[in-house]
Amino acid sequence: MDMNMKKKSNIIFLGTGSDVGKSVTATAFCRILKHRGYRVAPFKAQNMSNNSFVTLEGGEIGRAQVTQAEACGLAPSVHMNPVLLKPNSDMGSQVVLQGQVYGNMAARDYYGLKSEIKSKVRESYQKLEQEYDTIVMEGAGSCCEVNLREHDIVNFEMALSVGAPVVLVADIDKGGVFAQIIGALEIISPEERNLVAGFIINKFRGDPGLFKTGIEYIEQRTGKPVFGLVPVFTDFKIDAEDSMSLEKTIASHSHARASERESPKSDQCIHIAVVRLPHVSNFTDLEVLENEPEVMITWLKTPDQLEKYDVIILPGSKSTVSDMTWLHERGWVTPVKKFADRDNKLVVGLCGGFQMLGIEIGDPHEIEGRTKKTQGLGLLNVFTEIEKTKVVRRSVGQDKLFGVKVCGYEIHMGRTKLSSSSRTEGREADKNFLELETGPDGAINSRGNVFGTYLHGLFDSGAFRKKFLEHVAKEKGILFDNAIERRDYWAEKDKNYDQLAEHFSKYVDVEHIIRIMEKRIDN
């Protein structure tokens, strides 16, 4: 069959709750279908995350759709995630439509825009449908929240609007999988129930044979098939999107390396402390470092025993002024300053973290809140003002510490200026850290041990990561495994997608799902 003549098809993976594995399941099917010759693209109508990515169009989307696009062999597009909500308070979010900032608003105000939002969602879906023959979609959170049904645009509302068969994803590791599945079917409407083709049960541990009667019960009770019982797959990690995912990442990472930290080999590793800011964002900047075997990362909420670390990283923040206030209140300022004054120690700030390294952060338009000004850590001679317009762009350039090429993306409301005067008599002035095609960026002190930048994805640049880790190792006085020079991060990531697809293909009745997706059988 000529794949270019394929009938348009789609499928949507909805969840019985949050963090049940919808994104990973959708990613697996993107890869599976790509291997089978489908021209496939991912889609999520609405995402809520402060962990975003900048596409080639210069717009923001959620990280999960970036991962899914990579699994499809595609460049990410704003149309793969037309609505992105970036929480900036307990009550409201910054609304991003088709990659561009629409404004800050409370949930009630956002719901008032439903017709306009749905129009953008429909427009983006149709653009993808015109270019690709199969769309793999995922929902958000639980698909059966009664109180949110009226405002739904991403779960059953999306499935109904495009006539997509639904695969309901449940998480047996959470417990109560029977209640998850049967309860969900009881709550949804008959029309929605008719769209449900069957179920995938994720994160199984133990002997699958012991759950055979469980599968039989679910199928008998619901009249719908269980497509697969998928064992926990620890070798694949989709980019975390929210604080819940981050906390799980921190917990699993800490548990996995606890014994390593206690071993003699720990002394030969690079220890990095990352400040766990309350409004942390774009924490995937650190993922590539976490995957380096010579690096141990610890997320800290309190400045305890900082002297045992080699590097402190202040990550991005969706509410920089508030998080800087938190640093003052939690007693971080003096310990970080003392750390920076020590020999052989580095302090790095990424985006919001870069702003915090400066003298002062101003918010004259009250974009982030009522606090118009706060003092920074004072480690870099820069001043930041948060403005009404957001900078969203991909950037390429060279760093001034090692002189290597770097590339990444920028997402920031702040504008940071380097002061030409030295704050301390006799001290050399700070300089810009990067020279990008769009102009100078960031700052670095004269000692070269404190630097900050607006560039997300800095450590994804292999040459920079190699030089950075070698530099830290040299300062620490340890031998560094130069395997990083041979390690191809993107090739390893691509191989990981293949492994994920193989894992799901082994435990899921993929053929059955494809037949339903192509509407060859009555579901």
d(CA 144, CA 187): 6
User: Number of H helices and number of E strands within the chain?
Assistant: 16, 26
**Beta strands 280-281 and 295-300, pairing class:** unpaired
Q: How do beta strands 83-87 and 46-48 pair?
A: parallel
Cβ-in-10-Å burial (0-12, 13-18, 19+) of 139 comes to buried
> What are the Cα distances from residue 34, in Å, to 13, 41, 416?
17, 9, 43
Catalytic residue among 351, 365, 412, 471: 351
Assess contact for 306 and 336: CB atoms under 8 A: yes
Active site residue 471: no
- CA–chain centroid gap for 216, Å, is 37
CA distance 468 to 465: 5
**Residue count (the chain):** 523
Assess contact for 382 and 418: CB atoms under 8 A: yes
Cα(487)–Cα(401) distance, integer angstroms: 22
Strand (E) or helix (H) holding 246 = helix 243-262
Q: Is 456 a catalytic residue?
A: yes
Q: Please pick, among 79, 279, 412, 456, the residue that the annotation labels catalytic.
A: 456
| Active site residues per annotation | 351, 456
